[in-house]
Structure 1
Amino acid sequence: MFKKSLAAVAVLAAFAGSAYAADVTMYGRVDLGLRYTNTDADVAGQDDVSKFEMASGNYTGSRFGLKGEEDLGNGLKVGFVLENGFDADDGSFDSNGDDKIFGRQASLHLKGSFGEVAFGRMGIMNSTAGTFGIGQLSSLETGWGEVGNQNLIWGAGFSSRYDNMVTYATPEFAGAKVIAQYSFGKSHSPDADDETTQVEGKPTTDRYAGIGVTYNANNLALRAIVDTINKKSGDVNLGADYKDVDDTVRVTVGGSYDFGVVKPFLAASYFKDGTVGAMAGVGGNSAGIYDGYGFVLGADAPLFGGTLNATVGYLKADEQNLDAGVKAEDIDRFIVGAGYEYKLSKRTLVYVDAGYGQDDIDNRTNGDKPAYFQAAFGMAHYF
C-alpha cells in the first residue's frame, strides 16, 4: 500500500509539473455519510445482522482523477483519463476492490471527425462508469449504495469495468451514436501460469465485447445495448451438479422522458448463461448458471427544492446446465428504493435514502428467502 501511495503522489507531481504542455485537469468527489444495514440470510439458527457505520460512497463513489487533452491540429485531439477510487471514511485506496491505483479508469484516447477511439481500462457501456457508460437506465442507477441498484436486476456476472479494452464511439448523427467495445481480458503478473491464470489475449481468459446505441432528442433519451462475455476455454469448475457453460449474452433496452414535473424511467434486460449476484451482505453469488430477465421502473421528481428518486425492480432467473435429477434453484427477486438529494451549492449536496430487497429461491431447503434493508444519509462534494 505504501508503494502504491508513493506511486500515486509521483504521478500527481509529474502532471502538475508538466501542466503547461497540455490541458490537464484534476477532479474528484468525496461522499461520506452514516449507513444502517440489516441483512437476513434466512438460515435456520442464524440471526439477522444489523450494522450502523460511517461509510463512503452511499450516494456516489469517492474518487479523484486526472484528465488532459492536447490539440494535434487538423481536427485531431489526444487525451487521457486516470481515475482512482477511494474510501473517504478511512482514506484507503481502491474502493473497487481490484488493487489498482487507477482502478476506475486508465485510458488513452484519440478524437477526430471519425469519432473517438480509446484504449485501456474503462467502464462498459451497460454501466454508469467512466467516459463510455451509457447505462443511465433507472432513477437510482448504480449509485446510492445497494438502494435500488439496477445491477441487482441485470448484472448477470458482468463487471462494470474491464482491463485491456478498446472502445470506439461514432460521432453523433441526428441524436444517435453507436459505441462498440472489446476487452482482451485481464492483465496478469509476468510469472503467472498461462494454464491456470486468466491471461490477456489468450483463450484462457474471459473476454468482454459489446455494441450499443444511444438516442437523445430534446427530453427523450433511449438506450439499446447487446454485450457478451466470451468465456475462457478449458474446464469450468461449477461443482458436481453442473455441466459445462456457454458464453454469457445480455440484451438491455431502456429510456426516459423528462416532462419537467416528473422524469419516468423504464428499462428491461434479458440474459442467457449468466450468474446472479448476491444482495448486500446476504452472501456470495448464487452458484450455477442462469437464464433470466428483469425490469426496472422509476422516476425523478422535483420536491422542496431538491429531487426525489424512486425505483422498483424485478428479476426472474431460471437455473440452467444442471445434471439430470438436480432441482433448479430458480430465483425471483424484488427490490424497491427511494432517495432524496438537495443541493447546497453547485458542487455540494446532501442526501438521504432507503431501500429493501428480497429473493425467493426455489428448491433451497435453507436460506430460500434472504433479504436486506439499507438506509443512509450524508453529503457529497464535487471538485
Structure 2
Amino acid sequence: MKRKILALAAVSACGAASAQSGVTLYGVADINVEYVNRVGAAVPSAANGFQSGAGHSVVRENSGGYSGSRWGLRGTEDLGAGMKSIFVLESGFNLDSGTSQQGGRLFGRQAFVGLSSEYGQLTFGRQYHSMFSTLANFIPARYATQYEPVGVIAGANFREDNALKYVGVFGGLTAQANMSFGVGTTLPQVIASVPAAGGNGEVPGQYRRDTAYGVGLSYLAGPFGVGVAYDQWNPTIGTGSGTFKKAAVMGSYAFNDTAKVMGGYRWGQNKNQNGGLTMRDDFYWIGGQYRFSSALDFTLEYDYQNVKSLGGNTHVANPWQVALIADYTLSKRTDIYLTMAYAKNAGLAMESAASNYATSLTVNNYALSNGQSSMFGAAVGIRHVF
C-alpha cells in the first residue's frame, strides 16, 4: 500500500526531510489516453444560460491521470538544537502540452517556507488546508487526479494562498491547523440562484473577505485509523462574504499490508453574504485498496452526495460515482495503470452545479450533456516518479 502515497508525496515532504541541509528536485510525469461518453459541449455558466449543450463522446490525451504531473524543489537547513528551516516550491504542468496548471501559476501546487522542530512545523505560503491533508490517509484513491471528486469532498479551496499552517506529529497522532488571509479561489456562477463566490481577499477594511481556517486530527496505530476535520471559507459574494463550512469524520482498517478498507462522512453547508442557504449536502465515501501481487494493486471507491438543498431546490437528483484503479509496477519509479469510473446524476468526478464544476474548470470538461443522467470514462496511462 505504500506506493499509493506517491500522489501526495509533496504534502508531507517536509516532515520526512532529514536534518542534514540540502535541496532536492523531485516530480511526477503522468499521462494517459482517455475515452469518455456524454460530455457536454461547454461548462454551464451564466453566459450560456447554465446549459452544457449536446453530448458527445471524446478520446483525448490527458496529463495527470493517477497523479498530477508536477516538478518541485524541497529543502531543509539544520539550524541546531533540533530546529530546521524548510521550504517547498511545487509546480503543476500539463505533460501533453507543456503548459502550466493552476491558472498558469509558476508554483501553483505549493509554495511555502517555515520552521520545523520536535514540536511540529509552522509554514507560510500557498498550502493544502488541514481537512485535505487529514483526509489523505482515508480516501481510497488518495486524490487520484482523473476522477476523484476532490472539490466535492474537501471544497474547491483545498489549496489556499496567503496561508499559515501548523502540523504536529506525536507518535500515531497528527494535529493540523491552518489560517488563510486570502484564499485566492474563485467559483463561477453555475446556477441562476447561486452567485459567483471567492476572490483574492486581503482588502483594506474587509478583514473577513476570502479568509479561511480549519483543523484536522488523525490517529493511526497498528491496523486502525480514525480522523476528524473542519474547514470554513468566507468567500467574497457581491459586496459581502459568504460562509462555506465543512466537517468530516473518517476511519480505516488494514489487513496484513495486503488490503485496507476506509470510509467516512462529510457534512457541508454554504450560505451567501446575507446568511441565506445556497447549498446543504451530506457526502459519504467507502472503498479500499488490495495488493494482488508485489507488482499489482487495485483500488475501488464509491462516493455518494446527498444534496439536501441547492439554490432552494430540495429535490435534486443525488450524484454518486464508483471508480476503479488497477496499477502495475514496472520498476521503483515507473508504473502503468487503468482507471475507470461511472457517475450517475452528474458527470465524472461528480461534476454538477453542486460542485461548481470545479474539475471541469481546472482539468478536463466532465460536464454532463443536456438530457443525460450518467457518464462513463476509462483511461490507460503511464507514470514516472523522479
SS in 1 for 2:345: strand
TM-score w.r.t. length of structure 1: 0.75
Q: 1:176–1:207: structure 2 CA closer, same or farther, 3 Å change rule?
A: same
For residue 249 of structure 1, the aligned residue among 245, 249, 254 is: 245
For residues 169 and 106 of structure 1, what CA distance do their matches in structure 2 show? 16
Say whether 1:77 aligns with 2:81. Answer: no
Q: Hey, which of these two has a bigger chunk of helix by percent?
A: 2
Contact 1:62–1:87 (Cα < 8 Å) also in 2: yes
Offset from partner CA, 1:86-136 (integer Å, 9 cap, x none):
011111122x3x221000000001011321100000112232xxxx56433
Give the whole-Å Cα distance in 2 for the aligned partners of 1:160 and 1:228. Answer: 11
Aligned counterparts of 1:113 and 1:348: Cα–Cα separation in 2:
34
Tell me how far apart the structure 1 counterparts of residues 383 and 231 of structure 2 sit (CA, whole Å): 32
1:87 aligns with 2:94: yes
Asked if 2 retains the 8 angstrom alpha-carbon contact of 1:153 and 1:313, the reply is no
Matched, 1:119 2:121: no
Q: Does 2:326 match 1:346?
A: no
The offset of 1:329, in angstroms, is: 5.3
- Count of equivalent residues: 319
What does residue range 273-288 of structure 1 map to in structure 2 within 5 Å? 273=270
State the Cα distance separating 1:166 from its structure 2 match: 0.2
2:281 pairs with 279, 284, 292, which one? 292
Q: Hey, what does 1:242 align to over in structure 2?
A: none
What's the counterpart of residue 315 of structure 1? 305
Give how far 1:144 is off. Answer: 4.3
Give the direction of change, closer, same or farther, for the CA distance of 1:45–1:250 in structure 2 (3 Å limit). Answer: closer
Unaligned stretches of 5+ residues in structure 1: 1-20, 189-195, 237-244, 276-287
Residue 183 (1) aligns with residue 180 (2): yes
Q: Distance in 1 between matches of 2:170 and 2:52?
A: 57
Change (3 A) 1:152 1:39: farther
- Measured against aligned partners, the alpha-carbon deviations of 1:276-321 in whole angstroms (never above 9, x if no partner) come to xxxxxxxxxxxx8211101111011112441111111111112266
Report how far residue 348 of structure 1 moved.
0.8
Alignment correspondent of 1:141: 142
Question: What is residue 201 of structure 2 aligned with on the other side?
Answer: 199
Q: Is the 8 A contact 1:269 1:293 kept in 2?
A: yes
Q: What is the 5 A alignment of 1:135-174?
A: 135-146=136-147, 149-151=148-150, 153-155=152-154, 157-173=155-171
Partners of 1:168 and 1:63 in 2: how far apart?
Answer: 24
The equivalences for 1:255-274 within 5 A come to: 255-260=251-256, 261-273=258-270
Change beyond 3 A, Cα 1:216–1:165: same
CA contact (8 A) 1:289 1:320 kept: yes
Q: Which residue of 2 aligns with 1:336?
A: 322
What is the alpha-carbon distance in structure 1 between the residues aligned to residue 25 and residue 85 of structure 2? 17
Q: 1:339 to 1:82 in 2, by over 3 A?
A: same
Measure the CA separation in 1 of the matches of 2:39 and 2:96: 25
CA distance in 2, matches of 1:101, 1:45: 31
Mapped to 2, the partners of 1:198 and 1:44 lie a distance apart of 28
Q: CA deviation at 1:204?
A: 6.6
Q: 1:63 aligns with which of 57, 60, 70?
A: 70
**Paired AA for residue 229 in structure 2:** I
Change (3 A) 1:58 1:160: same
TM-superposed deviation, 1:230: 2.2
Q: Which residue of 2 aligns with 1:371?
A: 374
Q: Is the 8 A contact 1:359 1:368 kept in 2?
A: no
Larger Rg: 1
Q: Structure 1 residue 331: deviation in Å?
A: 3.9
For structure 2, the residue ranges without an aligned partner over 5 or more in a row are: 1-19, 42-49, 186-197, 347-351, 354-368
Within the alignment, does 1:102 sit opposite 2:107 as a pair? Answer: yes
- Identify if the C-alpha distance between structure 1 residues 337 and 70 changes in structure 2 by more than 3 Å, giving closer, same or farther: same
Deviations, residues 310-366 of structure 1 (Å, cap 9, x unaligned): 1111111122664xxxx545240110110100111111111001101121799xxx9
Kept in 2, the 8 Å contact 1:57–1:87? The answer is yes
